[in-house]
């Protein structure tokens, strides 16, 4: 016989909170074979109904008359954020009992009952979460369309604890050249909303890279030197191919220099 007991059978919780409960299990009577059973270890109270989850299995070896096998297990009860006030009874009992012998099979015994009290005089929550954001950011462009930027934001609510923050644009987005406002929004379970923002500015302070030919030696074609053609190029991360201004410019007659 699988009997479940509730050493602490009364718990008071406000919506959104959880509490640990203790489940004591006693298996009595003669048993000639091995048996297994399960109990749920987590429950959620929502709209007045308990839903069990996280089942755990237990195994009982053969035992003689007058022998008892005991287990103690920790469970958790959670009250959903929208649950109304009242007193609700949670019944915890064994299920899925299997036996290797039919002579003295293990059977379900008494259940453990917990009273979950949701009080009516809940304090009102009119305080918005507090958003933690980075300082305004300046980042270097990595291409003509800006740069990918990662950042971290968070929010803490006095009642709900940590709550999620929505950022637009989101962290990891590609930000264009110039300044972009990142808008932040965080809401708690009571609908209190906080907003904030910060700036991400993408700048281009990296000079282009110039590619030049090797030093050139040419034969003079006249008393004023020689016309020399060369082709320097430049590449910029943002503007890509850019013009190179050379002095003297390609194709201009360069004076000859006497050998010393």
**Could you write out the DSSP letters of every residue in 82-99?**
TPPSEEEEEEE--EEEEE
Q: Is the pLDDT of residue 122 over 70?
A: no
The per-residue pLDDT for 79 is 94
Of all residues in the chain, the percent with pLDDT exceeding 90 is 54
Q: Is the pLDDT of residue 251 over 70?
A: no
Tokens of 167: 């950022």
Structure pTM?
0.49
Q: How far is CA 218 from CA 207, 212, 229, 231, 256, in A?
A: 31, 17, 10, 15, 9
The per-residue pLDDT for 260 is 36
The per-residue pLDDT for 250 is 59
- For 188-246, the pLDDT digits (tens) are 988 899 999 999 999 988 888 888 888 888 888 888 788 878 788 888 777 778 777 77
**Mean pLDDT taken over the chain:** 88
Q: Which bin fits 158, alpha (ψ -120 to 50), beta or left (φ > 0)?
A: alpha
Work out whether the CA dihedral 237, 241, 245, 251 comes out positive or negative.
positive
Beta pairing partners, 155: 131, 163
Candidates 8, 7, 5; CA nearest to 92 is 5
The CA radius of gyration of the chain, in Å to the nearest whole number, is: 38
């Amino acid at each position: 016989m699988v009997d479940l007991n509730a050493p602490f059978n009364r718990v008071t919780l406000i919506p959104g909170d959880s509490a640990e409960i203790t489940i004591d299990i006693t298996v009595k009577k003669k048993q000639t074979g091995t048996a297994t059973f399960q109990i749920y270890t987590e429950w959620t109270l929502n709209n007045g109904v308990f839903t069990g989850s996280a089942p755990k299995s237990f195994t009982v070896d053969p035992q003689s008359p007058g022998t008892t096998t005991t287990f103690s297990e920790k469970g958790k009860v959670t009250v959903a954020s929208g649950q109304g006030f009242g007193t609700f009874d949670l019944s915890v009992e064994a299920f899925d009992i299997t036996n290797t012998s039919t002579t003295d099979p293990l059977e379900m015994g008494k259940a453990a009952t917990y009273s979950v009290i949701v009080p009516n005089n809940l304090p009102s929550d009119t305080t918005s979460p507090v958003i933690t954001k980075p300082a305004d950011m300046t980042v270097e462009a990595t291409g003509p369309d800006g740069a990918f930027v990662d950042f971290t934001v968070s929010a803490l609510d006095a009642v709900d604890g940590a709550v999620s923050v929505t950022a637009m644009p989101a962290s990891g987005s590609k930000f264009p050249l110039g300044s972009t406002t990142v808008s932040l929004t965080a809401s708690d379970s009571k609908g209190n909303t906080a907003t904030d923002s910060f700036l991400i500015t993408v700048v281009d302070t990296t000079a282009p890279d110039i590619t030049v030919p090797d030093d050139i030696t040419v034969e003079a074609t006249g008393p004023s030197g020689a016309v020399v053609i060369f082709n320097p190029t430049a590449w910029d991360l943002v503007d890509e191919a850019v013009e190179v201004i050379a002095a003297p410019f390609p194709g201009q007659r360069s004076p000859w220099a006497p050998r010393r």
